[in-house]
Amino acid sequence: MASETLQPAGGPPPPLPAERLCCRCDPTSLGFATTAELAAAPQLIGQQRALSALEFGASIRQPGFNVFAHGARGTGKHTAIAERLQARAAAEPAPLDWLYVNNFAENHRPRAIGLPPGEASRFAKAMEELVDDLRAAIPALFEAEEYQNRRGAIDEEAKNSQEQAFEALQERAQAQSVAILRTPMGFALAPQRGGQVIKPEVFNALPEAERREIERSIQELQKELEHILQQLPALEKTRRQKIRELTAEMAELAVAAAMGEIKRQFAGSAELTAYLEEVHKDLVAHVDMFLEAAQAEAQMAVGSPDRRDARLRRYGVNVVVANEAAGDGATAGAPVVFEPHPTMANLVGRIEHIAQMGALVTDFMLIKPGALHRANGGYLVLDAVRVLTEPFAWDALKRCLANGAITIGSPAEQLSLVSTISLQPDPVPLSVKVVLIGDPIIYYLLVNLDPDFARLFKVEADFDDRADRDEATVALYARLIAGIAATRRLRPLAAGAVARVIDELSRWSEDAEKLSLRVGPLTDLLCEADFWAGDAGAEVVAAEHVDKAIAQSIYRADRLRARSQEMIARGTVLIDTEGAVVGQVNGLSVLSLGSFSFGRPTRITARVRMGSGKVVDIEREVELGGPIHSKGVLILSSFLASRYALDAPISLWASLVFEQSYGGVDGDSASSAELYALLSALGEVAIRQHFAVTGSVNQLGQVQAIGGVNEKIEGFFDTCLQRGLTGDQGVLIPAANVKNLMLRHDVVAAARAGRFHIHPVGTVDQGIELLTGVAAGERGTDGRFAGGTVNGRVEAKLNAFAATRRRFGVAGQGEEPEAAGEGA
């Protein structure tokens, strides 16, 4: 059996020598006095995998190969991505300029036109000049004598036509003594005598024949009058049509003369040529607008910021993307855009509105570009969490990438929250490489939960958070530190300070054989050390300044740690560091508060009696234990059953509890401690309280590595230190965690002085021997553990429980004797 190979050989392991407790960098091995002697290294070390992925993602031109860069915070993702992309982009051609112009056929659908770099601004300026020219030229043309004469002739002709018709009628009417009168109801014909309308009584006194004659004359004249009046609108229409034709003819002259140059300048673009033809037609058709605008502008206050009439905006050019033109064969480069606030509007652009007469209105000049417009043809870098947390931004980004076009829309429109005049601008073709930056958890969540994600972000750039600690890497780090010091204008660091920083980087990585790659916190540490060096009036940052920076950083954050230790010291939290107790052991836990973590001891107790093989995890029962903790308890239950109850049902009821723990407990790092407490309770062997224990356990009785080993050891050390180190105290850690040890100086010093001990433990048997001072015991040839050993005692107790349970069954005392006890 595998378990047989795990039996201790030669008793419990000795404590680790002090030099195994922390890997110290020797300043003399660095080969320099201060970092001023070093050439700066690039800010990215040990990220070959991520950089290779980034390079691949940026190079491949197929759709969907966008990049998601993930890694721990502070690993230099932003800097690395910015440097790499900017270097690539500088060698790439500048992309097209984009502008929006009016769509004369469908005003609500502004037209997007792409132009070679630098051309959009040039075109906008040319159009502005064209409109300015026409603002002067058109009114002048229509005030000129030629136009006035021709228009006067048309008016005169129309007037004459009307007058002639009226005069002829009036002459005939006068010949028949009939007057044409204007009344509020229109024209009327009246019989006259002596220039006056005949009065009714006079008319009625006339002979009937004369009355009928007058009526007949009037009826005839009225028919003529009717005919003339019915002709008037047609005459007026003809007059207006002639004026329109004259106006168009004159406008054509002005517009053709003004537009010749701009048409020649931009003849190379088919889209612009077509647009300019539309402008030409529209200008001729709307020449009146220039005349009205001239009047309106004249009435505006002199000195008002923009005296240009709003009606002329229809000929405006809204340049949404203007790239620099390459000059003399040099390339201006592709854009690299970082959008720190990726709202939907900031990504895809927006359509602004202005209030006019109480209503919100807009036009194509109010289209504002988004980051996708600016990055089109280049690279767009976004923070994944920010994109995901901005309403509609993620969907909008995916839609644009999937469609290969930027479509401007607003959340309000999508939700039908506003009802106002809006636009549907032409989509702009999109060719962009998007780089999302985020935590690994975000990446894995997106892969699992968003089916579009894998299709659109096919390249994963995984930034590591640690590198191997070897001579070459340490040298590279020294140069990195020199580079940061130079960039941030810090004092040079002495070799001792660099060595201290290197040690701290190992501690951050929780591994004596690794170095943290988190450049952000490293920079913060260097800045703080520089501050303390300045505070001390030093020219060079020394090791003591780094130590002070670390200590001050901890001091600022460790109020709760101090409070926790104080509660132990005052006996509020019960922790024994002396003596021996059955079923009680000091476990260790880690509390993380923001960026600061610290360890503290926790009393774990176990109680046992006869039962049906159930180990009750009280933390789980009250829902304070997490699933991993529960898993650890179940594993140790399985270990008990498989080791001691080989030929009988395990007849045990046991309870485990974290004493004075009122918050949640999770993780399995206390499972070995729980097992020790259980074995102590079953074997009735006391556990020495000057030890604390950490480590998880598997079903085979092996003690496995855990996290936060340094903080846990230091937590128990602080408790013991407060009470006075006795020389017996120490911590049992998994042997696999020895490589993770990067303990504080004072802990290492105490260990070196033999006043505190770190014991690496590989198996439960090793641990229980250390904790109890009693041999764990091995199975003899009879298949039994030797009596007097811990294992022998445990087995005997379990056999006794099993026998008692059998007796209960025979006596018919009930099948579940523990039920009454459990319910009590």
Partner 1 sequence: MSGRFTYRRVIIGQGAITGSGHTVEIAVRLAAIGSASLKGLFVEEAGLLDLADLPFSTAIKRGSAGPRNLSRTELEQAFLLSARRLRQELAERARRLRIAWDFAALRGDIVSALTSECRSGDVVVLAGFSGGVTAADAVAALRRIPPEAAGVLIAAGQDQRKDGPVVVIDEGGDSGQRIVELGEEIARGLDLSLIVIAHGRRGAGDRPPAGQEILRLEAGSVGEVVRALTRLHPWCVVAGMAGPLFDDDQTARAILSASAAPVLLMRGEPAAPQPS
**Binding region for partner 1 (CB under 8 A):** 148, 152, 155-156, 159, 162-163, 166-167, 170, 179-188, 190-191, 196-200, 203, 215, 218-219, 222, 225-226, 229-230, 232-233
Residue 291: partners with Cβ closer than 8 Å, 6 or more residues away: 138, 139, 142
In the complex, least distance from residue 368 CB atom to partner 1, rounded to whole angstroms: 39
Minimum CB–partner distance for residue 242 and partner 1 (Å): 16
State how far the Cα of 748 lies from the Cα of 718, in Å rounded to an integer: 13
By beta-carbon proximity to partner 1, the closer residue of 166 and 808 is 166
Q: Judge contact between 23 and 742, C-beta under 8 A.
A: yes
> Could you give the CA distance from residue 88 to residue 257 in angstroms, rounded to a whole number?
46
Residue placing its CB nearer to partner 1 in the complex, 160 or 273: 160
Shortest reach from residue 144's CB to partner 1, in Å: 11
d(CA 411, CA 418): 10
Please choose, from the candidates 40, 132, 165, the residue with its C-alpha nearest in 3D space to the C-alpha of residue 487.
40
Query: Using only C-alpha atoms, what is the Rg of the chain?
Result: 47
- Closest-CA residue to 400 (of 422, 417, 382): 382
Query: Rounded to whole angstroms, how far apart are CA atoms 715 and 655?
Result: 26
Secondary structure (3-state) at 437 = strand
d(CA 769, CA 789): 9
Write the DSSP assignment of 488-552 as a string of letters: TTPPPBBHHHHHHHHHHHHHHTT-TTEEE--HHHHHHHHHHHHHHHHHTT-SSB-HHHHHHHHHH
Angle, nearest 10°, between helix axes 208-265 and 145-175? Answer: 170
| Phi–psi pair at 40, nearest 5 degrees | -70, 140
Which residue, 291 or 405, is less far from partner 1 as judged by CB? 291
Q: How far is the CB of 114 from partner 1 (least distance, A)?
A: 47
Between 193 and 559, whose beta carbon lies closer to partner 1? 193
Q: Is 712 a catalytic residue?
A: yes
CA trace torsion 401, 362, 320, 66 (10° rounding): -10
Q: Name the burial class of residue 291, with classes exposed (0-12), middle (13-18) and buried (19+) by CB atoms within 10 angstroms of its CB.
A: middle
CB nearer to partner 1: give 19 or 167.
167
Q: Distance of alpha carbon 713 from its chain centroid, rounded? A: 38
Q: How far is the CB of 357 from partner 1 (least distance, A)?
A: 23
Least distance (Å) from partner 1 to the CB of residue 168?
A: 11
What is the nearest approach in angstroms of partner 1 to the Cβ of residue 176? Answer: 14
Tokens for 239, please give them: 């007059």
Q: Which is nearer to partner 1, 224 or 464 (CB)?
A: 224
CB of 292 to partner 1, least distance (A): 14
182, β-bridge pairs: 187
Query: From the CB of 366, what's the least distance to partner 1, in Å?
Result: 33
CB within 8 Å of 711: residues ≥ 6 apart: 590, 597, 598, 599
Closer residue to partner 1 (CB): 291 or 736: 291
Catalytic residue from among 516, 669, 671, 672: 669
Measured CA to CA, the distance from residue 457 to residue 389 in angstroms comes to 18
DSSP secondary structure letter of residue 22: -
The secondary structure of residue 65, as a DSSP letter, is B
Residue with Cβ nearer partner 1 (179 or 738)? 179
Q: Between residues 194 and 305, which has the closer beta carbon with respect to partner 1?
A: 194
CA distance 416 to 400: 21
Q: Environment class of residue 677 by beta-carbon count within 10 Å: exposed (0-12), middle (13-18) or buried (19+)?
A: buried
Q: Which residues of 29-45 are buried (b: 16+ CB within 10 A; e: fewer)?
A: ebebebbeebeebebbb
DSSP state of 559: H
CB 656 within 8 A of CB 617: yes
Beta carbon nearer to partner 1, 170 or 362: 170
Select from 318, 305, 383 the least CA-distant residue to 350: 318
By beta-carbon proximity to partner 1, the closer residue of 2 and 185 is: 185
Taking the complex as a whole, the smallest distance from the CB of residue 302 to partner 1 amounts, in Å, to: 16
CA distances, 323 to each of 116, 326, 414 (Å): 9, 9, 31
Residue with Cβ nearer partner 1 (225 or 381): 225
Contact in structure between 43 and 76 (CB atoms under 8 Å): yes
Nearer CB in complex with partner 1: 100/142? 142
Helix (H) or strand (E) holding 246: helix 208-265
Please give the Cα distance from 155 to 314 (Å, whole number): 31
204-224 burial string, b = 16+ CB within 10 Å, else e? eeeeeeeeeebeebbeebbee
Amino acid identity for residue 666 in this structure: D
Of 759, 700, 712, the C-alpha closest to 586 is 712
> Looking up tokens 């991520």, which residue turns up?
50
- Among candidate residues 57, 203, 112, 782, the one with its CA nearest the CA of residue 429: 112
Least Å distance between CB 192 and partner 1? Answer: 9
* Other C-beta atoms lying within 10 Å of the C-beta of residue 143: 11
Query: Using CA atoms, how far apart are residues 800 and 541, in angstroms rounded to an integer?
Result: 68
Active-site positions read: 669, 712
